[in-house]
A and B are shown apart, each in its own frame.
Chain A
Amino acid sequence: MKNGFLHNFYQHNGKVLGTTLLVVMTFWIGVLIILPQLSMLDYSLREYLPSGEVGDYTLKNYRHLIYGAEGASDAYNYVDLKVFMRTIIAAICVTIFNLLLCYPIAFFLGQVAKGMKLRIFAMLLIIPYWINEILRAFALKIIFGATGMINAVLIGMGILDEPFDFIRADVALYAGLGYAYILLMVFPMYNVIESLDGNQIEAARDLGAPWWRIHWRIVVPYAKPGISSGCTMVFMLSAGALAAPQILGGPSSLWFTQIIYQWFNDGGNWSQGAAYAVVLLVSCIIIVLAFMKLFKVNMGDIGK
């Protein structure tokens, strides 16, 4: 059977081109995607030796996440587990916030706005996306700082008496995470809603449906692939974000990726970092798959 496919493939592409395609794809899928992940998994299961040699197999690195270092006073590794839970929950909250914020604009662009207006809005949406992630976080840091814009306005209006520390309270962090991935939520939804036949909406309106029911019964079910695609991307990216927590996070709060970063760069224990990275990856995938199952969407819809 496999030969049949290869035979067809070569007949279709010729020898030179067919071989080139296969070699390039083997390199991408094999050497860049699959082998590094397996290598990381293998690494996380081994004892770390600072000399760079390969250690024996052990579950110590995973045990560390749950029970902490050997001989620690607490029964469980509360610090890391708390950070892990906070990362996952906060990422889910950011995703929901983005969904609520972006659905109206996606609908507006997809169905209401036409011609010139649509182009201007699309351009206004795209421009911020091409500004560096670091610079966007920096912009929020300027605004949320103790002498920043928001504090100045709030004090000027008499709402606050003295500057509120938005960074310590993690307000800046959540605003920054939501800010960073707005576009990835808008575009998948926009692409789907745009292809919805406007006559369906009009028919529903003629039949007397109020506006919220039109959305609930027609637009949202139709846009489900786009919604799930956007939510998946925003969730995965905010759970795996590193720049925003490093720049906007308060002194006490740590994102799970920051712990991984510390194991790699400051702690110098790569096996431990690899184990944490595996935990992050696997739990994110499980959560996404669970939500997809819950809302009955297919993996194939992602990225459309």
Chain B
Amino acid sequence: MNNLFLRVSIWVYLGIFFAYLLGPLVIMAITAFNSNGFPSVSPWECFTYAWFSELFQDERILNGIKNSVIVGIGTVIMSVTMGLSGALILTQVWPKLRATYYTIVIAPILVPGVVLGISTVVFWQRVNNWLGLGPDSILADGLFLTIIGQSTFIASYCMLVLVARLQRYDLTLNEAALDLGASHTQAFTKILLPFMMPAIATSAVLAFLASFENYNTTTFTFGDYPTLTIELAQKVRYGISPAISALAFIIIVGTVFGALTNEALKRRKELQAAASGDTVAKVDGGFRLPSFLSRNPAMIALIMLVAAVGLSVVNSMSHNPAQCIAQVQTERQEQRALEAEANLRALAERRAAAAAARAAEAAANGETVEEETTTAPASSGNSTGAFGNVFAPTNLDGAEDGEAEATEEAPASPFGSVFDPGNLETEGASDNN
């Protein structure tokens, strides 16, 4: 009983955890296909690919991607080099110094990115002044500063990855190479580097991704070269659009693709290793998946993902949501008209109630009632009278007349243009910013 309870609560917890982790991303991805101008899921309008084409026409985004790639490549080169040197020295440094050394090279991970960005800008500006160079020298260049600033802490990540692999390196291999007459450099390039290659590749990928998504440091250093993340932040801060969801969707699909590929390859290697152990392959007459698919769900998922992306690209060529969008627009207009009507009716009711209250008040002191009643007809069609035009006979004739009148006077009413349906939208949008 207790066990069952525990098991259920674990699964409930896992459900909540992953809903928190993945839910926002899934919803954001879905909003990329809704034709609604504000990224949303719940008033679903039309399925559209329009936001993707808007995204690909955005010069700033494309330029940002270009800058991000340049910065990423520079950062990968610098931080893998520094991380590898750092790892090599860590294994050789005096045991007494090791803790201090480790603290210094790990510290950049923990220093807030804002602080790294500021210190980089301040320092290189000073170096620039000290060397007597102008403001357009390379030391004040946005690309240079961004690469330098990011490498400061990304190199620490690389070092952590590389140290893990380096600890498994058999030092006697190096000694053997030296004994056989290799120079130190040869031993390094021919033995150590090939051994480190998988970790170097991993750290390069990590470094590129970390550089690509860095915001805190880059926001101080980018100068004239805004990266994709900077452009995104600008867009998200000053008004949001489903085009950003479209970009997010592409990034999510790319990430899932990368993760599945990695997983599938790993699994395949394992299966091959296991298969080479079996001398006799099992033979059964039934249906069998091709060998690279069997027992490799990641590969299956990967193929399904590729198929889905391919299909939707094909679909996007022919899919035309124009009719649906037009329909939604007319519906929206109708709804707005209805809402406006409801608002006006509420307004009229409120006025009537106010007028009735005033009339009741007036009834308490009898004299004024008569005065009011005499003035009221004179001011019919005008809401200045205590009774307004609520009791005017024309009002009873048809609702349409009253509405038309009300529509005209609405902006001048004491409520201002609060009930203007056009206002609701812009107000809602600005609230959300």
Contacts and interface: CB of A to CB of B under 8 A. Distances in A.
B102 A147 contact: no
Contacts of A15: 184
Interface string B126-158: 100100000000000000000010011001100
A236 B113 CA distance: 10
A134 B232 contact: yes
Nearest to A235: B110
Contact of A134 (B27, B184, B236): B236
Contacts of B31: 142
Interface in A217-265: 232-233, 236-237, 239-243, 246-247, 257, 260-261, 264
A39 interface: yes
A136 interface: yes
A295 interface: no
A240 B115 contact: yes
Given A25-B85, A139-B28, 11 more contacts: A8-B92, A13-B92, A28-B82, A34-B104, A130-B258, A142-B240, A236-B112, A239-B112, A242-B219, A260-B114, A280-B114
A9 B114 contact: no
A263 to B, nearest CB: 10
A40 B22 CA distance: 39
Given A32-B148, A240-B115, A247 B25 contact: no
A157 interface: no
A140 to B, nearest CB: 5
A280 B115 contact: yes
Contacts of B248: 131-132, 135, 138-139
Nearest to A15: B184
Interface string B42-75: 1100000000000000000000000000000000
20 contacts: A5-B94, A13-B188, A34-B104, A43-B122, A52-B129, A104-B10, A112-B10, A123-B263, A131-B213, A131-B252, A138-B232, A138-B240, A139-B24, A139-B25, A141-B236, A240-B112, A240-B113, A240-B114, A241-B216, A302-B110
B118 A273 contact: yes
A141 B248 CA distance: 14
Contacts of A123: 259-260, 263
B336 to A, nearest CB: 16
Contacts, number: 259
Contacts of A133: 213, 215, 229
A37 interface: yes
Given A36-B122, A261-B114, A242 B215 contact: yes
Contacts of B104: 29, 33-34
9 A-B pairs with least C-beta separation: A240-B112, A14-B184, A36-B119, A139-B24, A36-B123, A139-B28, A39-B123, A40-B119, A152-B42
Main secondary structure of the interface of B (DSSP, over half): helix
Contacts of A141: 236, 240, 432
Interface string A14-50: 1111101100110111001111110110010000000
B431 A146 contact: yes
B432 A146 contact: yes
A145 B122 CA distance: 38
Contacts of A25: 82, 85-86, 89
Contacts of B18: 124
A284 interface: yes
A149 B40 CA distance: 8
B112 A28 contact: no
Interface in B91-125: 92, 94, 99, 102-116, 118-120, 122-125
Contacts of B392: none
Contacts of B81: 24
A128 interface: yes
B251 A131 contact: yes
B114 A126 contact: no
Nearest to A142: B39
Given A13-B184, A135-B251, A139-B25, A243 B233 contact: yes
B237 interface: yes
A93 interface: no
Q: Which of A17, A18, A274 counts the most chain B CB atoms within 10 A?
A: A17
Given A133-B229, A165-B431, A236-B110, A14 B183 contact: yes
Given A12-B92, A233-B110, A28 B236 contact: no
B362 interface: no
A211 interface: yes
Contacts of B391: none
B184 to A, nearest CB: 2
Contacts of A27: 82
Interface in A101-141: 101, 104-105, 108, 112, 116, 119, 123-128, 130-141
